[in-house]
Amino acid sequence: MKDSIYNMNIIILAIETSCDDTSIAIIKNGKVLINCAATSEKLQKKYGGIVPEIASRSHCEEIDNVLKTALLNANINIKDINYIAYTSNPGLIGSLHVGKVFALQLASLLNVPVLPINHMIGHVYSYFIDHDGKPNYPFLALIASGGHTFIALFESINKYTILNETTDDAVGEALDKIGRNLGMEYPGGISIDKKYDPNLANLKIISHSPPENDFSFSGIKTAVLNFINNHQVKNEEYDKIQLASSALKWIIDDLMIKLKYWINQYNNIKAIVLGGGVSANSLLRSEVMKINGILILIPSLKYTGDNAAMIGIYAYHKIIERSK
Ligand code: KG4
Ligand code: ZN
């Protein structure tokens, strides 16, 4: 192991602008000093979804202030930053671009290395933002967000295999669309979680695909929208909470069926790691906690959604790994 990296302070400035939050975090020797954000969510609420142009404009307007707030609150001089990490993909192209240009300019000004980080892999490491230690490999990660859903096998920080991914809508996207069609507040995923009633989750909507198949959530979304339309056309009453609860139960069951399938395929898994905005969901968290005999790592609620701290923590683990 090289001595130098352990003799110096590793201070990472992390920038995350993949969607509607302009987030900046400062990580010192693996500890998050500050994670702050400005969001255009209120503006987006008016449209019932993210408008990419609004998001990228908002990043341009906010990013300087978020940086100043982060440095001030972390009590860090910008000259002490020795790495910059930023979300390079996936995400909204204009939003990503704002973060990238900002990161590259700052890195060149400070003359420090810059690390482009994959947003989804950042979600995988979000448990470690406020929990000590490092990941035990191999582990299985279930990541569910507004734009992506996948189960992946991680054998090391740089070696992972996607086992199931979504072929169409992501879980969050499907829930948001279902919520919108049921007249619920945006984002639908959070509204449906709050209104979920296990006693009403009893409508049989569609069946599940074989566990080794990729995820697909457009089928459940379309079935729910057809259910709503059919009732509206016939002027028939239906219970919105029953429909939303049944759809959520179907979605979580589908995630669990596939997760359990992969747990059974590998007998050396050391942990199950959850992440992404949908990992805030109460039903998903409680179902994953029921899995016996494997360490379950679920991020704190404040770090399930998009944040720069996860980008910085993943960058930190990469830097440490590289120096070995
Ligand atoms: O990871 P994230 O913040 O952004 C993306 O990378 O997409 O995920 C946002 C998604 C939204 O679709 C939102 O509805 C969903 O996460 N979400 C939830 C909950 N909290 C956020 N879905 C279900 N239950 C929740 N409690
Ligand atoms: Zn995300």
- The pLDDT tens digits for 125-146 are 999 999 988 889 999 999 999 9
Task: Work out the pLDDT band at 117, boundaries 50, 70, 90.
Answer: very high
Query: Across residues 249-273, what is the average pLDDT?
Result: 97
pLDDT tens profile 299-313: 999 999 999 999 999
Please tell me the pTM assigned to this model: 0.93
Q: What spacing in Å lies between the alpha carbon of 120 and ligand 2's midpoint?
A: 6
Q: Is the pLDDT of residue 17 over 80?
A: yes
5 pLDDT more than 70: no
What is the position in ligand 1's atom list of the atom closest to the CA of 172? Answer: 12
> Which of 266, 274, 268, 264 minimizes the C-alpha distance to 151?
274
Closest CA to 15 of 43, 36, 40: 36
Query: For residue 49, what pLDDT is reported?
Result: 72
Nearest atom, ligand 1, residue 171 CA: 12
Which is nearest to 148 in space by CA: 280, 310, 276, 282? 276
pLDDT grade, residue 4 (50/70/90)?
Answer: low
Query: Closest Cα to atom 10, ligand 1: which residue?
Result: 146
146 CA → ligand 1 middle, Å: 5
Rounded Cα gap, residues 71 and 318, in angstroms: 23
Check pLDDT > 50 for residue 1. no
